Structure 1
Amino acid sequence: MGSLLFALALAVLAWVLVVGDLVRRHRPVWHWYLVGYPAAACRVVFTWRRVALLNDLTVSRHSPRGLLGDLVVKGDSLRPVAPRISFPRVTRMGLTVVVRLHAGQTPATYLKAADAFVHAWKVHAVRVTSPARGLVLLTVTATDPLERPGLATAPAELLSALIGVLESGGAWVMNLRLVPHWLIAGATRSGKSTLLARLITQLAGQPVALVGIDCKGGMELGLFAGRLSALATCRREAIAVLSALVVDMQDRMNACRSAGVRSIWELPKQLRPVPVVVIIDEIAELYLSDGTRDSKAEAEQCSTLLLRLAQLGAALGMHLVVAGQRVGSDLGPGVTALRAQLSGRICHRVNDPSTAEMTLGDLNKDAVVVAQSITAEERGVAVCTGPDGGWSRARSHLTPTEEAVAITKKYAAITPELPSLNRALAALEGEAK
């Protein structure tokens, strides 16, 4: 009888292990709620005092005075006291803990201890933020959702693109209605071109005009020429396209003023002009100069036109997505002025610290550090900003080139015509002949 019960217990244990492994692999969120969170919460609660003691997060207090008959006895021993924490609150793929700081403590000491929390609690990452004075929020991510990003879902909206997945497991969405202009930085083979391809394929089926500026001879954006309303492949063509867009922007301003509205989105649908998304690959090519007068004049002209579009285009349905391997102040003050207008930021792995600083430094210094820690093996991983002003690690979905080209060809028939841009490019071609 005993051997039968033992065999039955082994069979039940094996079944539990097999089912648990299947749930962990195919339903990681379920596994986290059922198994991962209870275990992690216990580790946080039972190790907190020791972790706080080892990382100088405690304060020392004297033992209280006591009475021994008519004598007052004062204790001399010091008693380390750990900060009070809330019970760990479960999230989709992690948990959060609120810490009430001791008097005189700052969040900086908790930032230094973040790696210690990771090892003690056996989790992927711990982010330290301060939502209010005297409080620290520890956001724990159990596993890295960017290793095998699933296809998240997001509502289909005009000028909204599902790019990939956030480290929280949620959808990474670029919504140009909420954040009208974007700056994307990334070294070669960091995932920048893949992200642009994903963005184009997501916008291809929408009633949106896509304009490409690729001064590398159109090697990247030329693949999607069938869905582009215009494509500039050199700086002279870029100036012609940008100049035509500025003229079009003036016409849109006049239409809004005549209708007594402040943006094209307040116009009746039949009078609303088509939104335009200008995608620029390798911004440095527009600003570099060889020292000659003509080259300097072209760079300054590009800088002025881009700045005007960035400053006035959001309410008029004109949006900029600017990408580059290197974005530094050495390209001139025009780049810094343009950067200030591009409120959406995405930083992949970069080759120089100044590019990460230029991309994210004016928003959050912690984001710069995280962006510089992205390795060459983490292709597609980036630090991105959100509509709320916060930042997060994210990974774009891999869209193979063949698939992206096929999607743009599929929607080539709905490409909006922009006659002013075509006339500008045709005039420039005529001058060259």
Structure 2
Amino acid sequence: MVAAALGVGLLVAGPTLRRRHPVAWWLCVGFPAAAWRVACTWRPLMAACGLAQSRKAALTVVSGLVGNGAPPPQPRVPGRWRMHPTSGGFWFLVRLLPGQVPEDFVKAAPAMAHDWEMHAVRVTTWRPGVVRIAATFADPLHQPRAPRQRGAGRLLQVAVGVLESGAPWVIDLREVPHWLIVGATRSGKSTLVNALVAGLAPQRVALVGIDCKGGMELALYTRRLSALATDRAQAVRLLGALVELTQDRMTICRKARVRNIWSLAEQECPVPVVVIVDELAELFLIANRTEKDESQAAATALVRLAQLGAALGVFLVVAGQRVGSDLGPGVTALRSQLGGRICHRVADSGTAEMALGDLNPDALHAAQSIAPGAPGTAVLASADGWECARSHLVTETDAEAVAAEFAHLAPSLPELADHAP
């Protein structure tokens, strides 16, 4: 009677509980039901997807049926380990049968999602011979909620959105120092930059802006910026000053006999510098000889900063609507130094190929499938793999207010004094 009453109560209060407390609903109702569906459908699902193997050769099975009238033996299916619930789904490990590869399970992921009535299923390699199957019951990218950030947080680490797994989307510049962000107009590229600047503003870092569109984008953060360039000529001079800054820091590290600034004593460690370049194409498009020289100088300086900056506390965040080899060899050289890639909805396949193709070709299809009605949704990739994510909505007004609130934290760097905004 108690079990029946509890079941009836969950059925009646289920929709309200799911709407107001989705995590509690999932753990109390959704996960037990999903575990039951997985247990019931695992063997037929593996057989239907071609992931089961017969225990006997075909002729042996036929002769056994004719001779003894016995039913055919059940095929072998991949071994499934215990399911682990998460706040928005579940995951478990699967042991591959001989001759199977993870790509076989990746192809079967849509069938798993439909059979288990889940929003999405993702298959990744756990270790040789074992894959990890993770499922989510709802789309965490539908309405991502911005976290309540208390204080500055960890240095150079910012939670900018939510991943498709429901986990926070964190950009850690100490882990991946340089990033390339691409996206068409109204794809959410500027919103992501806003979220990144809003998270870095309370930290002890110097923010440097390069916006060759007259400063229309980055001028919002003027009060928090330590330097700003609003045209290509200014950008070339500012990038040259940043290269000189890295050389000065190299001298400091060499005298202290350390390999990076993080090994210096705390009182001797220079302030980290985050360089935000908006609309990269404006730096590389040329119309005459003078612009060609400036473009080559800017490309050379950016590549040098990308090569030397990680150990010397200089980090690059390069954004643009379009990035292609037609902009010149400097773009290709720079792209190879930017280990983190974020691709929003783009207007041409070449930009997605430039951003993701050399790291994770499988991410191209996901990036080209982003709907126009989902601004902020992006595919992020690095050498470790790729994921879908969506940035928090940080408006221009919010970003400007944060920049004004923490304007007193903008450090004054002597090397960049001539470029102060």
**How far did residue 151 of structure 1 move?**
3.1
Contact conserved, 1:210 with 1:229, CA < 8 A, in 2? yes
Aligned residue in 2 for 1:27: 21
**How far did residue 77 of structure 1 move?**
6.3
Aligned residue in 1 for 2:125: 130
**How far did residue 263 of structure 1 move?**
1.6
**How far did residue 308 of structure 1 move?**
0.5
Q: Distance in 2 between matches of 1:381 and 1:84?
A: 35
Q: Distance in 2 between matches of 1:157 and 1:189?
A: 30
Q: Distance in 2 between matches of 1:10 and 1:261?
A: 68
Aligned residue in 2 for 1:192: 189
Q: Distance in 1 between matches of 2:173 and 2:377?
A: 21
**How far did residue 182 of structure 1 move?**
0.9
Aligned residue in 2 for 1:251: 248
Q: Distance in 1 between matches of 2:104 and 2:371?
A: 26
SS of the counterpart of 1:59? coil
Q: Distance in 2 between matches of 1:317 and 1:66?
A: 70
Structure 1 residues 288 and 67, CA, compared in 2 at 3 Å: closer, same or farther?
Answer: closer
Residue 186 of structure 2 aligns with an amino acid whose one-letter code is R
**How far did residue 25 of structure 1 move?**
2.1
Q: Distance in 2 between matches of 1:107 and 1:407?
A: 45
Q: Distance in 2 between matches of 1:331 and 1:26?
A: 50
Residue 374 of structure 1 aligns with an amino acid whose one-letter code is I
Q: Distance in 1 between matches of 2:377 and 2:419?
A: 38
Question: Which of 189-198 and 58-67 deviates more?
Answer: 58-67
- Identity value in percent: 52
Q: Distance in 2 between matches of 1:141 and 1:329?
A: 38
**How far did residue 329 of structure 1 move?**
2.0
Name structure 2 gaps, 5 residues minimum: none
Of the two, which has the highest radius of gyration?
Answer: 1
Q: Distance in 2 between matches of 1:104 and 1:271?
A: 57
**How far did residue 220 of structure 1 move?**
0.7
Residue 41 of structure 2 aligns with an amino acid whose one-letter code is T
**How far did residue 145 of structure 1 move?**
1.0
Map 1:355-370 → 2, pairs under 5 A: 355-370=351-366
**How far did residue 346 of structure 1 move?**
1.3
Question: 1:228-262: per-residue Cα shift (whole Å, max 9, x none)?
Answer: 11111111110010001111111111111122222
Q: Distance in 1 between matches of 2:19 and 2:329?
A: 50
Q: Distance in 2 between matches of 1:401 and 1:191?
A: 12
SS of the counterpart of 1:376? coil
Residue 164 of structure 2 aligns with an amino acid whose one-letter code is E
Structure 1 residues 402 and 323, CA, compared in 2 at 3 Å: closer, same or farther?
Answer: same
Aligned residue in 2 for 1:334: 330
Residue 56 of structure 1 aligns with an amino acid whose one-letter code is G
SS of the counterpart of 2:181? strand
TM-score, normalized by length of structure 1?
0.88
**How far did residue 403 of structure 1 move?**
1.5
SS of the counterpart of 1:179? coil
Aligned residue in 2 for 1:277: 274
1:226 aligns with 2:220: no
Q: Distance in 2 between matches of 1:108 and 1:317?
A: 39
Contact conserved, 1:241 with 1:424, CA < 8 A, in 2? yes
Question: Which of 216-225 and 344-353 deviates more?
Answer: 344-353
**Equivalent residues, number:** 416
1:149 aligns with 2:144: yes
Aligned residue in 2 for 1:217: 214
Aligned residue in 1 for 2:390: 395
Contact conserved, 1:348 with 1:381, CA < 8 A, in 2? yes
Contact conserved, 1:212 with 1:232, CA < 8 A, in 2? yes
Q: Distance in 2 between matches of 1:307 and 1:65?
A: 65
1:313 aligns with one of 289, 298, 309: 309
1:83 aligns with 2:78: yes
Contact conserved, 1:328 with 1:358, CA < 8 A, in 2? yes
Name structure 1 gaps, 5 residues minimum: 427-433
**How far did residue 85 of structure 1 move?**
2.3
Contact conserved, 2:360 with 2:381, CA < 8 A, in 1? no
TM-score, normalized by length of structure 2?
0.90
Question: Which of 16-25 and 177-186 deviates more?
Answer: 16-25
**How far did residue 305 of structure 1 move?**
0.2
1:93 aligns with 2:88: yes
Structure 1 residues 306 and 36, CA, compared in 2 at 3 Å: closer, same or farther?
Answer: same
Residue 420 of structure 1 aligns with an amino acid whose one-letter code is E
Q: Distance in 2 between matches of 1:359 and 1:9?
A: 54
1:414 aligns with 2:401: no
Q: Distance in 1 between matches of 2:220 and 2:238?
A: 19
SS of the counterpart of 2:38? helix
Q: Distance in 2 between matches of 1:345 and 1:67?
A: 58
Q: Distance in 2 between matches of 1:313 and 1:129?
A: 32
Aligned residue in 2 for 1:405: 400
Question: Which of 10-19 and 162-171 deviates more?
Answer: 10-19
Contact conserved, 1:65 with 1:74, CA < 8 A, in 2? no
Residue 29 of structure 1 aligns with an amino acid whose one-letter code is V
Q: Distance in 1 between matches of 2:63 and 2:356?
A: 60
Question: 1:48-85: per-residue Cα shift (whole Å, max 9, x none)?
Answer: 222223222223444767999xx987989686443332
Q: Distance in 2 between matches of 1:95 and 1:345?
A: 27
